[in-house]
Structure 1
């Protein structure tokens, strides 16, 4: 039976085989220490990686320099709490091992008081609640028997709260789930239960005591005897009002999933209505983004596992109407709406390119000339960053009002700088020597940077 951890493992192994050893991890002696270049205050806290280690920068302080948090193993940034007080990251103590395990850690925004949240292996991406310091994650349950600890896949869902540096568990139970998402009230969770004999893929709404409040079956029970069938809803991404959820429908086959799966949209207020079919795409929740008014979903459509070609920006209305927004010969990624205005969407766009396949070189760009673009309420699109074919821009992070933009400007497949586009439209290099990996077939995931914009008091 396919399990969510197995596709992640196979993806990692395939990426290693495709790209070879990463320049950011295999040649540490060539990695230069991060340095701040632009000294003006930016209202943001920035987490980024260099040589697979975690660094933080309080960009609000013009004199602040990047601060190193970790020094061994490898780090994957999870994200900031809603108020920016804490950052979660996953740490791999032994990334050189084929089946390396990850563990959840937290650190304060100033880089102090880092501690491990749970001694058990993390199986899925941990998620902060929309408000406060509540969070949820899934770990490998420590099952024991007469012969000691078992290696049987046994996911355990944990919901907890972080207060004054201490963890209070709110929910802890073994659940066979493939994904989860917080509801806007930060008091309920939407769980994805995989299909099984006589059971369709199902979304379950539960409170933090484990009580099932409602269930949303997605289709009919699978015909298991056919071998390949729809198995799980993943990438659950709720609209800000909590009324709709977008997700990917993944089959019980890792190889088929890697080439694209169905994208659906379910209206939770109309459980008897069938989900809307939006198209096909790679199962990356980072390629979903809801507008602040919950009226539009931006997503990346297109099949084929190569992320650097044939992937196009697409919009979906609340009624399921699909609006293509891509351009022929160009590839899109990472849509991001602003928080305060529902009429501005940022995304990365460049020319289709697959020439690097079979000839990957860390010092060369995978999408030369890629820029950050915007799309307004009228459908007008334009590039908002500028550069040559010797650079590529990615990871758009607009400020809540859209007047400033933080992004990464690559000068190689695994090296670049965090840059800022200020309110007057000028571009400044903020932090030099940010490094990471190109990901699975150039998806650039997990992201090298995570931004928390500080709201004015």
Structure 2
């Protein structure tokens, strides 16, 4: 009898440990207590101390990690780079102050804006070091897929007759402020109320590089309630307004192998209603399709495959009108956009919510936290039918995975 009890206890302990921590072949950086950490497979390594880190981004080959060293008041935003080969953090120049930086898609070069000036790093001893000016008057930007040019927006001006159109430019990396190298790419003609905006940002390229999506952003207060998701062809010839949505850049994503955009459509800054997963085939030639059932809201998304989209879904709350904004207890659902089949795939406890779904290889990951808490744990499962396991414990927010192309 004692042997059976011992075996049962051993099984329970083994089962608990396997569900609490998973050995998964993934690599990610994450923030814990405001410090930068790296996890590869089952090993966690702290990379910074006594900093206030946010916004880490991998270089294309995974050697470097760019991040912002800030402070609790939001008054500081210094750009640092961690070198995983040399195992040290450094600044690419004496001091770089920025809140918007992006790695090139095919080389270890950083582009960043500082008070409207777009710069790129030079290279010294194989590391991004020093910088060169590219262009003035830059609001939003993104690399072209070739890694040799930028698409750049410049905020419109308020004239006596109203706001001017939003200009977009195509600028080579080596422009070095030379006006003759800076070419107009497209001008967004904004007309109230159908398409009103004063800026464009959050550029994302389709898988084949033939289209770029972005948000047309109105003035600050208006932007909290509605922005226009738009697309533009890679030659700057064909523009389409896709739909209205909130200004969350993770809420619109290109399909992994088709020119389809998934986005959370709907206006209104509160998450209690009118937030629907919508699929638009680009270019738009027929009506878009919504997949969120009546009585629910979808509050984040991620493509799992060409036909499967993962959403963070909650029951809508139309009864709420005032007072503290209610917590929307999301769990993850998988939607087959070809067959229309939908099923729940994560099952948080009553006071928990699952958010920030991410796909890394064959794995689905998400951030799980309790009501009223900001920190949480990262959970993972291998494929949609796999066993869910905790992968990271007590982190500030969802990690950033390195997924080599």
Contact 1:192-1:202 within 8 A present in 2 as well? yes
Q: Helix, strand or coil for the counterpart of 1:378?
A: coil
Contact 1:69-1:111 within 8 A present in 2 as well? no
Structure number with greater CO (CA < 8 Å, separation at least 6) is 1
The alpha-carbon distance between structure 1 residues 113 and 305, as it changes in their structure 2 partners (threshold 3 A), is same
Q: Which residue in 1 is equivalent to 2:368?
A: 409
Q: Which residue in 2 is equivalent to 1:420?
A: 380
Q: Pick the aligned partner of 1:54 from 27, 36, 45.
A: 36
Contact 1:56-1:109 within 8 A present in 2 as well? no
The alpha-carbon distance between structure 1 residues 307 and 49, as it changes in their structure 2 partners (threshold 3 A), is farther
Q: Which residue in 1 is equivalent to 2:52?
A: 74
Q: Which residue in 1 is equivalent to 2:3?
A: none
In the TM superposition, what whole-angstrom CA distance separates every residue of 1:85-125 from its partner, at most 9, and x where no partner exists? 22221111x323xx512111121348921112341321x42
Q: Which residue in 2 is equivalent to 1:314?
A: 278
The alpha-carbon distance between structure 1 residues 292 and 254, as it changes in their structure 2 partners (threshold 3 A), is same
Q: Which residue in 1 is equivalent to 2:262?
A: 298
Q: Which residue in 2 is equivalent to 1:115?
A: 90
Q: Is 1:125 paired with 2:96?
A: no
Contact 2:23-2:391 within 8 A present in 1 as well? no
Backbone CA RMSD of aligned residues? 3.1
Q: Helix, strand or coil for the counterpart of 2:24?
A: coil
Q: TM-score by structure 1 length?
A: 0.73
In the TM superposition, what whole-angstrom CA distance separates every residue of 1:178-209 from its partner, at most 9, and x where no partner exists? 21111111111110122235952121111112
Q: Is 1:215 paired with 2:181?
A: no
The alpha-carbon distance between structure 1 residues 313 and 393, as it changes in their structure 2 partners (threshold 3 A), is same
Q: Aligned partners of 1:105, 1:297: CA distance in 2, in Å? A: 33
Q: Aligned partners of 1:366, 1:418: CA distance in 2, in Å? A: 19
Q: Which residue in 2 is equivalent to 1:101?
A: 76
State the Cα distance separating 1:137 from its structure 2 match: 0.9
Alignment of 1:233-252 (within 5 A): 233-251=200-218
Aligned length: 372
Q: Which residue in 2 is equivalent to 1:256?
A: 222
Q: Aligned partners of 2:143, 2:50: CA distance in 1, in Å? A: 32
In the TM superposition, what whole-angstrom CA distance separates every residue of 1:362-408 from its partner, at most 9, and x where no partner exists? xxx922252253434333332222233232111111133xx321211
Gap regions ≥5 residues in structure 1? 1-34, 141-154, 437-447
Contact 1:372-1:396 within 8 A present in 2 as well? no
Q: Aligned partners of 1:232, 1:194: CA distance in 2, in Å? A: 5
Q: Which residue in 2 is equivalent to 1:449?
A: 399
State the Cα distance separating 1:357 from its structure 2 match: 7.2
Contact 2:28-2:400 within 8 A present in 1 as well? yes
Runs of 4 or more, structure 1, over 4 Å off, are 35-40, 161-165, 168-171, 353-358
Contact 2:272-2:317 within 8 A present in 1 as well? yes
Q: Pick the aligned partner of 1:268 from 219, 222, 234.
A: 234
In the TM superposition, what whole-angstrom CA distance separates every residue of 1:414-441 from its partner, at most 9, and x where no partner exists? 12211111245101111211235xxxxx
Higher Rg of the two aligned structures: 2
The alpha-carbon distance between structure 1 residues 113 and 308, as it changes in their structure 2 partners (threshold 3 A), is farther
Q: Which residue in 1 is equivalent to 2:13?
A: none
Q: Helix, strand or coil for the counterpart of 1:230?
A: coil
Q: Aligned partners of 2:185, 2:220: CA distance in 1, in Å? A: 26
Alignment of 1:334-349 (within 5 A): 334-338=300-304, 341-349=305-313
